[in-house]
Amino acid sequence: MPQVTLTVNGKSHTVEVEGRTLLVELLREKLRLTGTHVGCDTSQCGACVVHVNGDSMKSCTMLAVQADGASITTIEGLAKPDGTLHAMQEAFREYHALQCGFCTPGMVMAAVDLVNKNPQGLSEKEIREGLEGNLCRCTGYHNIVKAIAAAQDVIHGKRATLAPAAE
């Protein structure tokens, strides 16, 4: 079986995998990082989004062997080592941008990438369009969009902390 060496959340791993093993399977089953969810098995829902070399990627669409040598960040690696939440995670909490929580890890990871790639800021419409590959069946997206809008100002240094959720 092929060996894959990759860095996940700052830690190097070398794992034997079958050639058909998906990255999401490697993360969940071999490395026991179960925050990355499998929602649809068809790459439609976005619950499995992780960052591969800094870019968001649906980990169910990538073979583990394709990630050889890559740096992967999962939802477990987004917070600081001391447990302090990333600004996007904190915004999702503060703005009640989740209900059942199943889509949340992928949604947060996609949102971080979207905000990082748009330092000029994003309008509500641009946020909604940027999340088209992530499905949520519970929230209606309203609070997700509000959370991302608030977090982008913190991430880009335009505001020191999140504004309290008003609604």
Q: What percentage of the chain exceeds 70 in pLDDT?
A: 97
Q: How far is residue 23's CA from residue 65's CA, in Å, rounded to a whole number? A: 8
CA angle 133, 98, 39 (to 5 degrees): 45
Domain 87-155 of CATH type 1.10.150.120: yes
> Do 47 and 103 touch, CB atoms closer than 8 A?
yes
Which tens digits make up the pLDDT trace of 51-79?
Answer: 999 999 999 999 999 999 999 999 999 99
Which tens digits make up the pLDDT trace of 119-157?
Answer: 999 999 999 999 998 888 887 788 999 999 999 999 988
pLDDT band at 158; cut points 50, 70, 90 = confident
Q: 3-77: what fold? A: Ubiquitin-like (UB roll) (3.10.20)
More confident position, 163 or 75: 75
Domain-by-domain residue ranges, the chain? Answer: 3-77, 87-155
Q: How far is residue 53's CA from residue 70's CA, in Å, rounded to a whole number? A: 6
